[in-house]
Amino acid sequence: MGADRVIGGLLAAAEACSENSQCAGFNSHGQLKDASGPPYLSVVSPPGFCFFEKAAGNCEYSIFSLFNECFLKSSPFKGSNGQNRLSNYFAQVCLKRSNTVTRSADPGCMVGVDIRGYDKAVVYATRSREECRLACDNDPGCQFSVRQLDGDCYLKSEPFSSTYGNNNHNSSEVDQLCLKRGTDRGCLSGIDWRGDTLYTFNTTSTEACRTECDGNTK
């Protein structure tokens, strides 16, 4: 295995590993594990150290817990970690702010994704994605919007708590799902959301958690 590099702090190690295609993971001492040599999982961290394995994928959303844990996630609904439900364990779920060309979504949105929730109102035949997003921004009770390919815009509340809509990918009908822009732009509180966990780290900052997802492209 290649030599380890020591990076100061978990957040710095997570960022350095994300930017390094040869990084296989890092431990709680800030050591990066180089995957260019023999299998890295055969290398055991010192006693009392936690090892954070880097998973393949691109962060699509982050989950911040009340216990200062940050989970970077991909593959919403299709992944194997977590559940689609209301949960007081999680303080904030945020969609990635930086636009990814491959998904062609606006920041704070996902293309072709639906989430169950109560329909507060429908704005028919919106002429643009922005018109749909503004309708949600201006509705006090709207928490997220789902714009259909035909332009119809559903203003919704209470994610995962009703039978309206589907918790799944639906690219044949849905243009994009967007979380309401506000104080915490593109975030919801008190929900879990199933997906694949790329890696986790501890931080007391919700902004640090979001920023790590924004910059994750590996």
CA distance 214 to 26: 19
The pLDDT, as a whole number, for residue 209 is 95
The pLDDT, as a whole number, for residue 105 is 74
Whether 197 is in a domain gets the answer no
Write out the residue range of the structural domain in which residue 36 sits: 5-54
| Together in a domain, 138 and 115 | yes
Whether 215 is in a domain gets the answer no
| Together in a domain, 22 and 70 | no
The pLDDT, as a whole number, for residue 64 is 97
| Together in a domain, 67 and 154 | yes
The pLDDT, as a whole number, for residue 38 is 44
Number of separate domains in the chain: 2
| Together in a domain, 75 and 33 | no
The pLDDT, as a whole number, for residue 119 is 95
| Together in a domain, 163 and 80 | yes
The pLDDT, as a whole number, for residue 17 is 65
The pLDDT, as a whole number, for residue 123 is 98
| Together in a domain, 48 and 76 | no
Whether 204 is in a domain gets the answer no
The pLDDT, as a whole number, for residue 94 is 93
| Together in a domain, 93 and 21 | no
Q: Which portions of the chain are predicted below pLDDT 50?
A: 1-3, 36-43, 101-102, 218
The pLDDT, as a whole number, for residue 40 is 40
Whether 68 is in a domain gets the answer yes
The pLDDT, as a whole number, for residue 216 is 75
The pLDDT, as a whole number, for residue 55 is 52
The pLDDT, as a whole number, for residue 7 is 55
